[in-house]
């Protein structure tokens, strides 16, 4: 066990954890922030997507000891994020979710995409969202919601 200082959603946090613990489990179990989900643990599904220094990152394979002082942003901060709020509203308006379990990760990927590329093409959407599995396969509406958010972000 070792102590680590993190910046999560703008707040300083200290946790005591095994250095190999992935950020995902630190968020979920030490910080009780369960919006970020476990789906595979091997960077294959995107359910655990967070932003590390603004970059969409799979938190399930990122050991806490390798994080350094890079700031972390999670789904819990999206309601107060300019792009995040627009994306969430688009998701609700398009009635995207089914079981909803993948959607934190989907939204984190969409926000990262739209921050970088406010007017993405269909191909760019497929590429940026391509690592986020939705087992319910709500992809038709995910596409529509990303497009809607993109229009709103003009």
Partner 1 sequence: MSAATKRSKDHGINRRSFLHASVTAAGGLLVSLYFNRASAQEGASAAQGPPKINYPPDAFVEIRPDGKIVIQVNRLEFGQGVQTALPMVLADEMDADWASVVPQLAQAKDIYKDPVFGIQMVGGSGSIAHSFQQYRELGAKTRAMLLSAAAKNWNVGADTLRTEPSVVIGPGGKRATYAELAKAATAMPVPANVRLKNPSEFRYIGKRTPRLDSRAKCDGSIKFGLDFDQPGMLTAVVAHPPMFGAKVRGFDDADARRVEGVREIFQISLPRGSGIAVVADKFWTAKQARDRLKIDWDTTEIAKEDTTALWAKYRQLAGTKGLSALARGDESALDKIASANRIVAEYEFPYLAHTPMEPLNTTIRFDGDRAEAWVGSQFQTCDQMAIAQTLGLKAEQVLFHTEMAGGGFGRRAVPDSHVQREAAEIAKKLRGTTVKLIWTREDDVRGGFYRPMFFHRVEIGVGTDGMPAAWRHVVVGQSIMEGTPFAMMMKDGIDPTVAEGITDTQYNLANFNVSIHQPKVNVPVLWWRSVGNTHTAYVMETLIEELAERTKMDPIAYRRKLLKPDAKKLRAALDLMEAKSAAWRQKLPKGHAVGFALHESFDTGVAVAVDVSIVNKRPKVHGATVAVHCGLAANPLTVESQFQAGSGFGLSQLMAKGAITLKDGLVEQRNFHEFVPPYIMDAPVAVDVHIVPSTDPPTGCGEPPVPVISPAVANALSKLTGKRYRSLPLVEI
Element of type H or E holding 49: strand 49-52
Interaction mask 12-31, partner 1, x per CB under 8 A: -----xx-xxx--x--xxx-
Name which position in 7, 30, 38, 63 contacts ligand FES (CB under 6 A). Answer: 38
Asked if residues 103 and 71 have their Cβ atoms less than 8 Å apart, the reply is no
> 67 is in the binding site of which of ligand FES, partner 1, none (Cβ under 5 to 8 A by kind)?
none
Cβ within 8 Å of residue 139, ≥6 positions away: none
Residues 80-119 that bind partner 1 (CB under 8 A): 88, 91-92, 95-104, 107
Does 108 interact with ligand FES (rule: CB under 6 A)?
A: no
Is residue 55 part of the contact set for ligand FES (CB under 6 A)? no
Q: Tell me the angle at which helices 139-152 and 103-116 cross, rounded to the nearest 10 degrees.
A: 40
């Amino acid at each position: 066990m070792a102590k680590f200082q993190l910046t999560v959603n703008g707040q300083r946090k200290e946790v005591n954890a095994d250095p190999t613990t992935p950020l995902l489990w630190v968020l979920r179990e030490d910080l009780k922030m369960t919006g970020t989900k476990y789906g595979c643990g091997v960077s294959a599904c995107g359910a655990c997507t967070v932003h590390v220094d603004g970059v969409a990152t799979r938190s399930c394979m990122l050991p806490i000891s390798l994080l350094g002082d890079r700031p972390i942003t999670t789904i819990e901060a999206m309601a107060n994020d300019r792009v995040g709020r627009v994306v969430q509203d688009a998701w609700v308006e398009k009635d995207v979710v089914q079981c909803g379990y993948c959607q934190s990760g989907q939204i984190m990927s969409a926000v990262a995409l739209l921050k970088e590329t406010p007017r993405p093409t269909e191909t760019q959407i497929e590429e940026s969202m391509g690592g986020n599995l939705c087992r319910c396969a709500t992809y038709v509406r995910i596409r529509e919601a990303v497009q809607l958010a993109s229009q709103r972000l003009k």
